Structure formats: C-alpha cells, structure tokens
Structure 1
C-alpha cells in the first residue's frame, strides 16, 4: 500500500506528500472502529485522510473532524477529502491534538486514532516521518487525557497499537477511568504472534469482548474475516 495513489471502491487517496502511507493498520481501524450511528467523529492523526473517508462511508449521517499536525499531510488530506463523495462532511485541521483539545469545547461520540508509537531513540533524520512515527509530540498520557476531555458521556474511542504500547495505554486509561470494552487481536497468520491490537474505550465498565483477525490464512490467501471486513472498501475483494 505504498503507491503515490491508492484506489478504493468509492474514493481515491493521494499520498505522495505524506510521510506515512496508507497501511493495513489504518484500513483495519477505519473498517472496524465504531458502532451505532455516531453524529460527530474525531480522527486524531488523520494522515492521508483515509480513516476519515472510510468512516464517512460507513456512517452517512456523521460530521467528521480530522486533526493532523504535519502541514503537508494535512494539505494532502484536505485535497483527498475535496475529491471524495463526502467533502461536505469532513474537515481537516492542521494543528496539534493538544492545542485542539485545549480550545475545542464540543464533544464527540466517536473518536479514533492510529497514533505514532515509536520512542524518541529510534528517530531518523526525516522530520516529517518522525512526526508521523514517534510519540514524543503526542505522548500516550496526553493522547488519552485529551481523548477523555473530548468524549461525550456515551462516546467510544478506538485505538490501534502494538501489544506493548497498548498495555502502557491501558494503564493510563485505567487511571483516567476509561475502560476497554472491546479488543481485536490482529495477526499476519493464525500461528503468528499478535502484531496489533484495536481496543474500544468508554466511560462504562463492562465485560471485555475479545475477538481475533488473521490477515491471511495458512495457505497465504487473505482470510475470510479480513476480506469480509474490507470488502466494501478494497477493490481486491
């Protein structure tokens, strides 16, 4: 998923100006996160705008705000939105999430994020890529505190992270009285290690629903669960 343009069934995404290209993480989150009929959605770290676009396709009554700190990425995301069928329902703002959450008074009923998660010591010399990949500009403590402040009482928030980073985020969420109610374990293949987790958080404490998704079967073909999840979006299904 690293070409300069990526074609979905109902929209196209240009990504040559974005450090982080469309990824499997992003499209799984965009297809999986959320439930019901949310009216106000926040996408933290919008990147190319792909998750905002997928959510607009899934939730036809929602107004969506995407926050993107990188200037070039936010411009390209805005272009992708303008060229989509949902340009009247999505806006992209070029600012930090900390600044947005400090001054924005409205609440959201669905918040999603595919956040940067690498620590500072793994940085490259590419400043734009560092913004997209490294969490020193958006530490998990500030991310979760900001998410909590933006959530309506009945809202849900959804993150995708590697297992270790999700464990750290769960500790922060527990202190903030945000509770995981759903967990999706993602593997490349059934016998492989878990590479990512998607978790849904809310203010309500209830039993945790756990499920799994293997991207491919043992015969190296896309699994039915994966293809069913993305069949409304990816032209390969």
Structure 2
C-alpha cells in the first residue's frame, strides 16, 4: 500500500518478511532493545497483545510478523508518533492485525477495559525525570525519561489490562531491577524470568529482559546471559538468530533508542 513519507522521514527495511518501518531522520529511532523484547515475549497463536508506549510501532510490527497473534495494539501518547506508526502499519498491510491507538497509559481502563489482553509488552522510558526542564515536544526526551508516565504507571496499567495468567514482558535497565520487582509484586504480576543483556562477555549488563505472570505463583528463573557481541567484536550467534540474518545494516544498529 502506498503511504505518504514526509521529507524528515526515512523508510527502514527490517529485512524480515519484507517488513518496513517509517522513522524520523532526526527523531527517536528504535534500537536493539525493541528487537530483543519482541523476540523475548511469549506470544501464542490467537493471542491479544498490547504494546504500552509503542513509539515508532516497531514492536507491534515485529510481533505481527514473527508470531500468530490474533491482534496487536500499540498505545502511544504522542499524536505525531502514533500517526507515523499507523502509516507503518498500513505500509506493511497489517491493518487487520495491528492497530495504533493514540492515548495516555493512565487512561487504560477507559480505552480498553480490564482483563482484555493475553500479553502486555513494554519498552518504557528508562530514566527518572529528575530535575530541570525538558521540552515536551522532544520525542527523544519523552521516550527516554519518565515525563509522561512512570514505571509504576506502566506496571499498574499492565496488571489491569492482563487477563488472569496473562504475561507481561519488559525491557529495562538493570539499575531499576529492584523497582521493577517491587512494583510487579505490588500489582500482582509475579516475576518469572529475568535475562541480563551484556554488550559482550566480561562487560556488565546494560539491559534486562523480564517476564511476569498475572496472579502467578512465586518462582523466579534466571536465564543465561545474552551477549550482543562475541569476544572478537562480531555479533553473537544468538543475536544473528534473533535478527534472522547476518545483522548487517538492518533492524537498527543497537545504537539508537533508549
């Protein structure tokens, strides 16, 4: 389908089943964290999925391409980002399986009701807002800082939106792990799996992937670490498998994003 591409935008070929994504040339772009999350989530055939804070729409597009989910919703508060993500959905002919909704996570009940989804995925802002003024029209700042929503807003919404036994999958920073675990327990999402992501062997983790079950029994499993690069500085075999190719020049370079 032909969609409009503006002068400040580019079209990136995801090199997977012909999928493409519209991104701003000078705006927030997806990174390896979004790709890892889309791969990490357990999305079964016929599942209803929602991505909280979808940004460019990369995660719904990838989940629709990689799984047999019945439908994937992307929720994005920034109107301009949501409109761009909707055009990416149309470009890929996914209108029947993916919908981008412009709205506030804190209005989740009004938008979607409760106990609606089998899977909630989220790549939320990693950093506390802290001091200083931040331009609310700065899409990069909004994607990286807890300006328009907090970690608690995201986990609270996930808990309300999930069906009993449903799964939440999140990518975040290791330094926020205690906050994540406490909030998940507080909102009845039992942490089940944690996987730390390292730039390479012998370097400390800079991302974590975590999955939890709504109303699940306590049992936390630590998964093997995931390395982006091997000891020789090449992309690891697992990263190559996740990206479904030799990695060169597609699905982002891991240097963009949060």
Global fold match (TM > 0.5): yes
What aligned pairs does 1:25-104 form with structure 2 within 5 A after superposition? 25-104=33-112
Q: Is the 8 A contact 1:68 1:92 kept in 2?
A: yes
1:84 Cα deviation from its structure 2 partner: 0.6
Which of 170, 177, 182 is the aligned partner of 2:188? 177
Matching residue within 1, 6, 10 for 1:4: 10
For structure 1, the residue ranges without an aligned partner over 5 or more in a row are none
Distance in 1, Cα, partners of 2:70 & 2:239: 25
- CA shift in 2, pair 1:236/1:209, >3 Å: farther
Q: Residues 103 and 109 (structure 1 numbering): CA distance in 2 closer, same or farther, change over 3 Å?
A: same
Q: What is the DSSP-based 3-state SS (H/G/I as helix, E as strand, rest coil) of the residue aligned with 1:204?
A: coil
The secondary structure found in structure 2 opposite 1:172 is: helix
RMSD: 2.2
What is residue 233 of structure 2 aligned with on the other side? 220
Aligned twin of 1:158: 169
- 8 Å contact from structure 2 (residues 49, 69) kept in 1: no
After superposing the two structures, state which structure 1 stretch, 111-120 or 169-178, moved more: 169-178
Alignment of 1:136-147 (within 5 A): 136-147=147-158
C-alpha distance in structure 1 between counterparts of 2:154 and 2:110, whole Å: 12
TM-score (normalizing by structure 1): 0.90
| Equivalent pair of 2:50/2:119 in contact (CA under 8 Å) | yes
Q: Residue 120 of structure 2 aligns with which residue?
A: 111
Q: Relative to 1, partners in 2 of residues 1:87 and 1:181: Cα closer, same or farther, differing over 3 Å?
A: same
Where in structure 2 are there 5+ consecutive unaligned residues? 1-8, 251-258
> Contact 2:235–2:247 (CA<8 Å) still a contact in 1?
no
Contact preservation (8 Å) 1:8, 1:233: no
- Alignment match, 1:208: 220
Higher relative contact order (CA 8 A, sep 6+): 2
TM-score by length of structure 2 reads 0.84
When structure 1 is superposed on structure 2, of 40-49 and 160-169 the one drifting more is 160-169
The answer to whether the 8 Å contact 2:52/2:76 transfers is: yes
Give 1:190 deviation, angstroms: 1.1
Aligned residue-pair number = 235
- CA offset at residue 136 of structure 1? 3.1
Change (3 A) 1:58 1:186: same
